[in-house]
Amino acid sequence: MGKAVVRTSLRPDRILVARVNGSVVGVCGYTADGVSAVDLSWTSLRSHLSRRGATRAIAMLAILARSSSHEALVLDGICVAGNHRGLGIGTSLLDAAGSRAREFGFRAMRLTVVDTNPRAEALYRRLGFVAVGGGSLGVLSVVYGFDRYTTMERTFER
Ligand SMILES: CC(C)(COP(=O)(O)OP(=O)(O)OC[C@H]1O[C@@H](n2cnc3c(N)ncnc32)[C@H](O)[C@@H]1OP(=O)(O)O)[C@@H](O)C(=O)NCCC(=O)NCCS
């Protein structure tokens, strides 16, 4: 059921895709102008879930929601297929996201990385992202499997 919800909620105009020989090996979703890569709005969730199920989903997702911004393109998530990692595909996706951010006229792009992912954070730092904030999930860390998260931004020269 969860996959069906996500599948029908995907917004192709908010997802960058990396392909090798025609097969998708990496994706990077982003939020711009208030539109996210996955439309998990009440209306969208209710088309698959009961009222109770949609309410529960909204409550759980609200904790992880990234606020959209007028100043920055917000990355919703980046992932490269396991057997294609370490080949520069993630870097290319982030470069493409930077180009997209400039096309939208943003001064920066922003992402969030969790404390259990130091290698991803190291990649972001290498590509010019710096920490601008962060926080903790507190008791909910048991549910999500991580506690602290860091918000990072890469700004562009005008
Ligand atoms: C993070 C990720 C998108 C990077 O994509 P990539 O194509 O492997 O990245 P690149 O080849 O351009 O750069 C390699 C760097 O990515 C980082 N990296 C993070 N996780 C990695 C992994 N599992 N394998 C290889 N590199 C990884 C490292 O900094 C690595 O450099 P290093 O080998 O010197 O440590 C990818 O590893 C991935 O999908 N990981 C799982 C999902 C994830 O963690 N997403 C980020 C959420 S914030």
Residue 147 lies in a domain: yes
Residue 52 lies in a domain: no
Closest CA to 32 of 54, 9, 16: 16
| pLDDT per residue as tens digits for the range 116-129 | 999 999 999 999 99
Dist CA 129 CA 125 (whole Å): 5
Domain extent at residue 141? 12-36+66-155
Give the count of domains, the chain.
1
Q: Is the pLDDT of residue 153 over 70?
A: yes
Q: Which two tokens stand for residue 152?
A: 């990072």
Task: Assess whether the C-beta atom of 78 lies below 6 angstroms from ligand 1.
Answer: yes
- Which residue is closest in CA terms to ligand 1's atom 14? 86
Question: How far does the centroid of ligand 1 lie from the alpha carbon of residue 25, in Å?
Answer: 13
Q: Looking at the chain, how many residues does it have?
A: 158
Structural contact between residues 111 and 74, judged by C-beta atoms closer than 8 angstroms: yes
pTM tops 0.75: yes
Mean pLDDT over 46-61 rounds to 79
Q: Is the pLDDT of residue 140 over 80?
A: no
Residue 111 lies in a domain: yes
Give the pairing type, strands 23-31 and 72-80.
antiparallel
Helix (H) or strand (E) holding 135: strand 130-136
Q: Which two tokens stand for residue 9?
A: 């909620």
DSSP code of 79? E
Which residues make Cβ contacts (< 8 Å) with residue 83, sequence separation at least 6?
none
Residue 138 lies in a domain: yes
Which is more confidently placed, 129 or 41?
129
Residue 57 lies in a domain: no
Residue 50 lies in a domain: no
Residue 31 lies in a domain: yes
Mean pLDDT computed over every residue of the chain: 88
pLDDT band for 62, please (50, 70, 90 cuts): low
Residue 7 lies in a domain: no
Mean pLDDT over 122-151 rounds to 89
Closest CA to 39 of 73, 9, 7, 8: 9
| pLDDT per residue as tens digits for the range 67-121 | 667 899 999 999 999 999 999 999 999 999 999 999 999 999 999 999 999 999 9
Dist CA 41 CA 54 (whole Å): 9
Task: Assess whether the C-beta atom of 91 lies below 6 angstroms from ligand 1.
Answer: yes
Which CATH number covers residue 128? 3.40.630.30
Task: Assess whether the C-beta atom of 86 lies below 6 angstroms from ligand 1.
Answer: yes
Q: How far is CA 122 from CA 79, 90, 131, in A?
A: 15, 12, 11
